[in-house]
Every structure is written in C-alpha cells, then in structure tokens.
Amino acid sequence: MQPENQKSTDFCFTWQGARASLNLTPDFVAMEAAVTAIRVALPVPLRQHFDYLLPPELEVSIGCRVRVPFGKRELVGIVWQLAVKPDVSEQQLKPVLAVIDQTPVLPALLRQLLSFAADYYHHPLGEVLTAALPALLREGRPLADYLPRAYRLTDSGKAANPQSFSRSAKQAELWQALTTQALDEATVKSHYSGSALKQLMAKELVESFQTEIAPYHYQGLAEPALQLTADQALAVTAVNQAQGSFRPFLLEGVTGSGKTEVYLQLIPSLLELGQQILVLLPEIGLTPQTLERFSKRFRAPVLVWHSNLSDGERLNCWLQAASGSAAVVIGTRSALFLPFRKLGLIIIDEEHDLSLKQQDGFRYHARDLAIKRAALECCPILLGSATPSLESLYNCQQGRFTKLTLTARASGQAMPQLELVDLKQQVLQYGLAAQSIQQMQQQLKLGKQVMLFLNRRGFAPALSCQDCGWLTECQRCSAFTTYHKHSRQLVCHHCGATRAVPRQCGGCGSTRLAPVGQGTEQLEEHLSVLFPEVPVTRLDRDSTRRKGAFASLLAEIQQPGPRLILGTQMLAKGHHFPFVTLVVIVDVDGALYSADFRAPEQLGQLLTQVAGRAGRGHDKGKVLLQTQHPEHALLQDIMLNGYAAFARSALLERQQTLLPPCQYMALFRAEAHQSELCQQWLQQVASYCQQQPQVQQLGPLLSPLERRAGKYRWQLHLYAAQRPLLHQLLSQVLAEVSQWPLSRKIKWQLDVDALDLS
C-alpha cells in the first residue's frame, strides 16, 4: 500500500480507491420525533448494513454502543449513521433495546480510519469496528463501570470516634488514612484490607466515587540523552521540523546504528506540548526492553499494549490513551486503533517485519494503516529498519517517503565480518562444520558469547523408519510432524495437531524409528555435549511459553561471561546482545529456492538482522553462514554488497517482472474438504474478473501447503497497475460471490496486499 502525494495541510492525505462510507453527521445530535431510524454496525461477517428504530425517549450519537436484537440473539453494535432512510418500511424494523453510551467510544478520526480500513481491505465494517474495541467494551457494560474509583469518608465517617475501631486494627488503619485524604482504588487494594473496606462501607462510614483520568504532566528527562552522531542528529532535526503536519519518513540504519536513540530524542519536544506518541513493535518479545528504555528516559507515563495483557490491563491502557493520561504507548499492531486524545507522532520499529500484517480475520497491515492514521491526525510518522521492506524503499523512490540514513554503528564499532562456510564434502558434527566449532571454541575461551541461529524449533523435523524410509506425517496437513523430545509428542506446526510418538513404523511395522534433521531442541542437547562447561540459553516459542520466561532468558544473556545462545527467528528482532562476538547461521539453504517471489527479500532481511546481533559491544563481531550453495547469487550479493545494494537489485527485478510493490495485488483463498470445489469456485471468480482485462490473473492454483487442518487449499492471484481498477473489481466480485451457491460449500477469504502466499 502506498500513499498518494500530499495535497494540502488541512486534510493532507488522500487514497485512491477508498469509498467514502463515513457519514460526517455531527457527533451529538438530538433525535427529533420524525427521525426514528439509525444504522448500526454489528460484529457479524456480513457485508451489509443494519437499520433499527430508535424509540423517541432515547438519544444517541454516532460512535456510541447500542444493544439491538439480531435474530434470536442480542448484539452490541456501533451507531454508524443517524436519520437514515431504511430500505424497508418502519413496521419491519426492530427497535433498539438500549443505548449504552452517552458519548462515543469511537471518536470521529478513528471512525474515519476504520471506515477506510473496511473499504480498503473489503472486510465487514462491524467486525472492523469490533477489532478496535477492548474485549470488555464488546460486552456491553457502560463505560462508567470501568472508570477508576476512589474512596473517602462520609459525614458519618468523619464524625466517627477512633475508639469505635478498637476491635479491628485493620479498619482503624484504613479509617485513619482516609481522614487525611481520599485514596484511589489501586492504593486501597495494595495497602489495606479488602474486608476492612467492605465493613466500613457497610457501616456507611466510607463511600466510593468516580474519579476523572487527567492528562499527563511531563516532568522532564529522568536521565540525560546520549550524544548523537551526525546522521542521528540530521534524522532528529528532519522529523522535528515536520511536527504538526503529515509527513512519512523511512529511517534506514544499519544494525546497532542507534535508531532507538533517534526515537527517544524525538519525544521530549512533543511531551512538552502535551502530545502523545505511539510506538509500534512487531513482536511482544521486544516490548519489555523497549519499555525499560523509554521509562528510564522520561518522567511521564509510558504504557504497553499487547495480547498477553489481561482484559482489564488492556482496557486501562485504552482509557488512559483516550483521556490523554498516557504519554507514550508501546504496543503491537492493534495498538494502532487506540483512541488517542492528542497524537503527535507515530513510530514503527522493524517496519519490514511480517508480524505487522494480520494473517487471519481482518487482514490489515498495521504499517500501512498507521500511515493513513498519521495523515488523518496530521502528524509525522517514522518507519525504522536496518532492512527496509521493498514497499517502503519503492515509496522513497517515488517521492512519497523521505529517506533518512544511519550508515554506521553509534558506538563506532565496525560492522561484523561475514564468512561463508561451504558444507560440501565436509563431515559435520551435530550439523556444525569443523571450522564453525573451532571458532566457537576460540570465542568461548575468551569469555565471549556465541549465538547460533536455526529456524526450526522442536527436536527434529520428522521421525523416519530406518528400514523402509517411512516418515511421520500430519494426518490433516500436507506436512511432516515435528518431533518434540521433551514432551514426547509429534506436533504439526501448521494446524497444531499433536499425538504421541509411535512405537513402530506406520509402513512396515519396524521399531527402528530415528529423528531426521535437526531442530533447536536437538542442537541444544548437542551443544551441551560439545561444550559441557558452557551454559546454553535457548530462545524459541517452546522455551518462552511460560509467562515471564522470555524476560528471564534475556536477563541471562545480558550477563557477561561465556554463553551459547541458540534460537529461531525470535533472535533476529532487534535485540541488543552486547557480549555476542560470533554468530553462526547453522542452515542458510532452507529458503534459497522458495516459490514465493518475496522469499529472497525475506531471507536477505533475516540474514542481515541475525548477523547484526554480533559485535554490538566493544569487541569486533563475526558471522559464519553455513551453506551447501556458497556460489548462490543472493548469498554473494549480501556478502559483498550488503542489504542496501541487494534491495536495490531486488526492487529492479520486481519492476521488470511487474510484481508488488510495482503493481497492486489481491489474493483469493479457498479451502474445503473437497479439492475440486475450491478449484471450481476460484475458476468462477477468475471468469468474472476477465471483464476487467487490465487486471492480470495467476491461477487458480494449489497453495504451496496443499492441505491444512484436513482441508484442501487453492489460490487466485490478481495484479493491477492501478489500485482503483483493482478495488473496483474486488467490490464487484464480492457483490456477486455472495449469491453463488458454491460460496456456501467452501471457506474463502480475500487478502489485499497479501504477504503470506503459503
């Protein structure tokens, strides 16, 4: 998704192809007796609107929640339009059951963003609006029930005699504290007895009252800022000069170049103006270290938002963002939909990361919608990465983004040296070449840390029969099941199915089953044999499932001394490991020959990011890339020229082959228990799309993972040089497919700007 050129400073951003579905009626409208019908967006997977009668005794505003009947159920919806002319007679309309809010839970600018998102991604509006609300607000309780409360003495409490509490020291303690001032709910719960509070309230000596959430008060820096390099200072100045207007920036900085310090030094001037800052991260794992750095720097509230928070914690963050009490919010992609009171800057770290794209349900890209939100808020947006996406680099080429560059590491340390290790005709020890083991030993003897990257979790990718060659396969997917030795299970990493390890071969009945290939579990076991005196820290999805485990493992790595760090792509997400001097990429070859046209870009990003973990401290770093194909053009390009040069050539190749980002793309997926149904349905879609010859087609074709969770999977790719043409065609197709009988026999999805082609 690319933004159009800036047109004005008042409404400084437009997008082609987006229909204007937002009714710009003023937020607060008193309902006249003659106006009885309202339009409500409901959380149902239907691309249509729903009209209801509003009883004359009720008043409502756009963006408020209402409770309405829907079939045999009652649903909580969002009022989307007032004074509508329904498609049916008033006698056929059902009445609104209750108005939940007096003021909108979705403010006007946020509604405009969500309306655009529903149109652009062709997703039902009700589901899009629901995705923007915390889970507790979807239940339909009044917002006032969740606002913070405090406790104070009643008149009877103020007149009470201290002697009346002689039999209860806990009641006396709480009463005494309340004689000097009211106490907020958090203070009372953390410092005083809950039963004592209940007893005092039952005696009508203490009462609760609702408190307002006040905007934050900035009290300056808690610690001094670091000295900036020349490149960093230029970047900070450029973004600061864009304050108060929409302007997108791409900050391309080599690993360790101090991008986070640039982010930190952009914020103080905004805090002094009472503005808020949104920092989007691709992974939950990056949140703790980023939160720590931001909290240490500013005397202002810094909050987090991600899926591991409880419903109450998420609602609290939502309330503080809406009230202006939160100065900085650091969150994963859905933090984009928080109702900020005064948003002054959006920062997206690791903007290239695929995790910023939602891969199911409402399939939005947080980076692209963040650009739209920055336009609506008229504030700058900064995208940072050591390995920018080709989409962002293309936007820089087209003059849509301003590119800022950090060419050297902030510490002055040299970039790590890359070296290819040819695995051909070598005897490997636990998947490691003799050269790799020797250099690992050298660094560990010097008291340094070594990181090994292997992008396969589990013990082994499969179990195999040593007599007939049979392999353990998932019964529901076109994939092998991964052997997890610790849990004694075979796990499908595609559908999640698990089963016990078989005692004998499913083909010939032999009991000679052995692991095939190597995963992180197995490599961890082998490293403990090779280096028995050296601690091993494994970072993958299995080792970090327990709450707090990830932070605990990161704390281990931050300690000096020899250590082996082993993990999957989780290691490549911008972590700072100051004592790592050697990185070994155990198996480079897995993605060299993928059918996905984005695979070279993703591999180049991954290799560069993993390599960037080496030499970030005072010692020089080195990276070993183990491969059977050292002559491969992609590896040679990365080795000799670096990611920036590789990305330029990859972008030129995309232009020559007319692939995104040089064209616009949409992907129809179909899945069913019968493969031919998917093919037939997609063929109908393809036939319908032929009416627009300027939209090219690829397919229908089987998905690379042909079968998942028991269903066959097919795809149809659509490409167009002009976005409006593609979106106009998609709107027409979606209006048609709902009427096809075959559409009810399969499960299908539309993915606009698809990134995952599996």
- Could you tell me which residues come within 8 angstroms of residue 567 by beta carbon, excluding any fewer than 6 positions away? 451, 452, 453, 454, 520, 538, 539, 540
Q: Going by C-beta distance under 8 Å and a sequence separation of 6 or more, which residues neighbour residue 532?
A: none
More confident of the two residues 412 and 73: 73
Torsional class of 106: left (φ above 0), alpha (ψ -120 to 50), beta (otherwise)? beta
pLDDT at 249 over 50: yes
Could you tell me if 472 and 481 are in contact, meaning their C-beta atoms sit under 8 angstroms apart?
Answer: yes
Rounded Cα gap, residues 248 and 214, in angstroms: 31
The residue that leads in pLDDT, 148 or 64, is: 64
Q: Is the dihedral of CA 507, 511, 516, 521 positive or negative?
A: positive
At 698, which CATH number? 3.30.70.600
What pLDDT score does 627 carry? 92
CATH code of 274's domain: 3.40.50.300
Residue 565 and residue 450 in contact, taking contact as beta carbons nearer than 8 Å: yes
Q: Residue 269 burial (CB < 10 Å; 0-12/13-18/19+)?
A: middle
Tell me how far apart the alpha carbons of residues 748 and 393 are, in angstroms, rounded to a whole number: 32
The residue type found at 6 is Q
Q: pLDDT by residue (tens digit) across 692-725? A: 999 999 989 999 999 999 999 999 999 999 999 9
User: What residue numbers does the annotated binding site for Zn(2+) cover?
Assistant: 465, 468, 474, 477, 492, 495, 505, 508
Contact (CB, 8 A) for 43 and 127: yes
297 and 402, same structural domain? yes
Residue 274 gets the label, from left (phi > 0), alpha (psi -120 to 50) or beta, of: left
Whether residues 329 and 348 share a domain: the answer is: yes
Same domain assignment for residues 120 and 240: no
Shared domain for 317 and 369, answered yes or no, is yes
Q: What is the DSSP letter of 505?
A: -
Q: Are residues 628 and 549 in the same domain?
A: yes
Both 138 and 152 in one domain: the answer is: no
pLDDT at 67 over 90: yes
Q: What is the pLDDT of residue 395?
A: 97
pLDDT for 543 equals: 84
685 neighbors 737 (Cβ within 8 angstroms): yes
Q: Does residue 481 belong to any structural domain of this protein?
A: no
Which residues have CB under 8 Å from 705's CB, separation 6+? 477, 478, 479, 494, 713, 758
Q: Would you say 157 and 206 are in contact if contact means Cβ atoms under 8 Å apart?
A: yes
pLDDT given at position 1: 53
Q: Say if residue 440 is exposed, middle or buried (CB neighbours under 10 Å; 0-12, 13-18, 19+).
A: buried
Pick the last residue of a domain from 622, 653, 684: 653
Q: Average of pLDDT values for 640-668?
A: 93
Share of the chain residues as helix, strand and coil, in percent rounded to the nearest 5? 35, 25, 40
Lowest mean pLDDT among 1-15, 451-465, 581-595, 650-664: 1-15
For residue 661, whether the previous peptide bond is cis, meaning omega lies within 30 degrees of 0, is yes
What single-letter amino acid sits at 593? Y
pLDDT at 53: 93
8 A C-beta contact, residue 559 and residue 596: no
Residue type, 430: Y
Residues 547 and 425 in one domain: yes
| Distances 528 to 66, 460, 535, 563 between C-alpha atoms, Å | 60, 17, 8, 11
Q: What is the span of the domain harbouring residue 603?
A: 417-457+519-653
Examine residue 700 and say whether the peptide bond preceding it is cis (omega within 30 degrees of 0). yes
Farthest CA pair distance, the chain:
91
Q: Domain count of the chain?
A: 5
The residue from 142, 163, 188 where one domain ends is 142
Do 100 and 60 reside in the same domain of the chain? yes
Average pLDDT over residues 431-448: 93
Strands (E), 176-240: 183-184, 206-210
Which residues, including other chains, have CB under 8 Å from residue 577's CB and lie 6 or more apart?
449, 451, 557, 558, 565, 613, 616
Cα 92 from chain centroid (whole Å): 43
- Residue 574 and residue 447 in one domain: yes
Q: Report yes or no on 19 lying in a domain.
A: no
Instruction: Indicate if the pLDDT at residue 262 is higher than 90.
Output: yes
- How is residue 270 written in tokens? 């905004």
How far, in Å, CA of 265 to CA of 256, rounded?
A: 16
Q: In the block, which residue shows the tokens 């008149």?
A: 155
The average pLDDT across 37-54 equals 92
Q: Are 338 and 373 in contact (CB under 8 A)?
A: no
- Is pLDDT at 23 greater than 70 in this prediction? no
Q: Residue 640 pLDDT more than 60?
A: yes
Q: Which helix (H) or strand (E) holds 28?
A: strand 28-29
CA dihedral 472, 626, 557, 618 (to 10 degrees): -170
> Do residues 112 and 22 touch, judged by C-beta distance below 8 A?
yes
In a domain, 377, yes or no: yes
pLDDT tens digits for 183-227? 988 888 888 988 899 999 998 999 998 888 889 999 999 999 999
Phi, psi of 470 (to 5 degrees): -60, 140
Residue 220 lies in a domain: no
**Please, what is the average pLDDT of the chain?**
89
What is the pLDDT at residue 443? 94
Which residue among 631, 653, 675 closes a domain?
653
Mean pLDDT value across residues 513-538: 91
152 lies in the same domain as 113: no
In this structure, are 618 and 692 located in the same domain?
no
Residue 682 covered by a domain: yes
**Cα gap 55→35, rounded to integer Å:** 10
Which one is predicted more confidently, 88 or 42?
42
Is the torsion defined by CA of 424, 425, 430, 436 positive or negative?
negative
8 A C-beta contact, residue 518 and residue 460: yes
* Amino acid, single-letter form, for residue 382: L
Domain membership of residue 120 (yes or no) is yes
Instruction: Answer whether residue 350 is part of any domain.
Output: yes
Bridge partner residues of 716 (DSSP): 668
Of residues 126 and 550, more confidence is placed in 126
Average pLDDT over residues 476-504: 89
Q: Name which of 209, 152, 155, 156 is nearest 182 in CA terms.
A: 152
Place of tokens 């990718």: 461
How many other CB atoms are there within 10 angstroms of residue 539's CB atom?
23
Residue 412 lies in a domain: no
Do residues 305 and 231 make contact, with C-beta atoms less than 8 angstroms apart?
no
Binding-site residue set: 465, 468, 474, 477, 492, 495, 505, 508
> Per-residue pLDDT tens for 557-575?
888 999 999 988 887 777 7
SS3 92: helix
Q: Which of 136, 139, 68, 58 is nearest to 102 (CA)?
A: 58
Examine the pLDDT at 639 and tell me if it is beyond 50.
yes
Residue 469 is predicted with a pLDDT of 87
Give 355-395 pLDDT, tens digit per residue: 999 999 999 999 999 999 999 999 999 999 999 999 999 99
Task: Specify whether 438 is located in the same domain as 584.
Answer: yes
HEC-encoded secondary structure of 262-309: HHHHHCHHHHHCCCEEEEECCCHHHHHHHHHHHHHHECCCEEEECCCC
Spatial contact of 192 and 173, defined as CB atoms under 8 Å apart? yes
The Cα-based distances of 95 to 51, 53, 390, 589 in angstroms read 9, 4, 51, 62
User: Percentage of residues in the chain with pLDDT exceeding 70?
Assistant: 95
